[in-house]
Amino acid sequence: MEEKVLIKSKKKSLKVIKTALGILAGVLFIIPILDYLFAHSKNWGFGWYIAQGSALPLICWLLAGVTVALLVVFSKMYSKADLTVTDKRAYGLAAFNKRVDIPIDMISAVGTGAFSTVKIASSSGAIKFGMLENCGEIHSVISKLLMDRQNNKKQEAPTTIIEKSEANELEKYKELLDKGIITREEFEAKKKQILGL
């Protein structure tokens, strides 16, 4: 039987986040320069301003560097994230372009998180697919698949119990046959009755 695609992810644009982080980094870089120009407008120069022990340039430029690093990491982490869910598996590109293919039977849990992330847990760990516009819909589809699998297991359980009780009953009649209490014909008749033959 062919697998049926149930849902495909839709990418969210990273432009807003990239722009916001870029502007923040620029502002953090410019703050010490503006501080010097407006508050310390002496003729000694910017080098002297830094040499006087002002921590503002160091702090702002360090924060600007961290912001740029976050921008790069975030872009690499979610720029190509993609997820497709079928009736048999979930596959695609997770964070940092990690190729993933998980059979539905191996998925133990599913959740959502910050940055429109779908988190799929399996025996090999948790995998995140971020910046997905339809992360709520994907979560619902996978949750339904997990619930259906659970319900199917519950329906199969009584059949197993009946089979065990049939085996136990046959075992008792076999003991009676071995002890000579019943004949082979009686045992065969009872066996057919129990198995419904």
Reported as a single tens digit per residue, the pLDDT across 55-67 is 777 788 889 989 8
d(CA 109, CA 102): 12
State whether 157 and 187 are in the same domain: yes
d(CA 177, CA 191): 12
State whether 127 and 162 are in the same domain: no
State whether 74 and 86 are in the same domain: no
3 falls within a domain: no
Reported as a single tens digit per residue, the pLDDT across 73-121 is 877 777 788 999 999 999 999 888 889 999 999 999 999 998 888 999 9
Residue 117: which residues within 8 A CB-CB, separation 6 or more?
128, 129, 130, 131, 132, 135
Q: Do 39 and 124 touch, CB atoms closer than 8 A?
A: no
69 falls within a domain: yes
* Domain boundary pick from 48, 78, 108: 78
What is the value of pTM for the model shown?
A: 0.59
Residue 19, both tokens: 């722009």
Domain count, the chain: 3
Per-residue confidence (pLDDT) for residue 161, from 0 to 100: 55
Task: Say how many residues make up the chain.
Answer: 197
The residue among 4 and 41 whose pLDDT is bigger is 4
Domain containing residue 95: CATH number: 2.30.29.30
pLDDT > 70? residue 45: no
d(CA 193, CA 197): 6
Percent of residues in the chain assigned helix, strand, coil, to nearest 5: 60, 20, 20
Q: Domain of 44?
A: 12-78
